[in-house]
Amino acid sequence: MKNVKLSLVALGVAATSLFAFIPFEPGSIKGSVSPAQFAVKAWAISAKDTIQVKVENGEFEIKDLKPGKYNLIIEATSPYKSVGKQGVPVSDGKPTDVGQIQLGK
């Protein structure tokens, strides 16, 4: 009986160890900005992470994001103002398309 209990505990530890080392597939946030020439950077901010990329030709994709919710900020130059979106969801291994973002004036 003692050997059975030890075997079950060992099996449980082995199974838990396998799941602990499953790599995550990073997600991303992508979209476009209008007017394109006034968009500078796109920022993804979470409780644990802040990542920024350049907006090029009015398009951006922030890659290598862990699953969770992010606040997205599009940094703009004058005469436009930066804009943001809260609670953008990122899923494991999937891009989140936020569509076209209009800069504020």
In the chain, where are the structural domains located? 25-102
pLDDT for residue 3 is more than 70: no
Spelled out in words, what is the top-level CATH class assigned to the domain 25-102? mainly beta
pLDDT band at 105 (very low <50, low <70, confident <90, very high): confident
Q: Determine the pLDDT at residue 14.
A: 60
Q: 10-69, pLDDT tens digit by residue?
A: 556 665 655 555 677 899 999 999 999 999 999 999 998 899 999 999 999 999 999 999
Q: Is the pTM of this model over 0.85?
A: no
Listed residue (49, 53, 48) closest to 29, CA to CA: 53
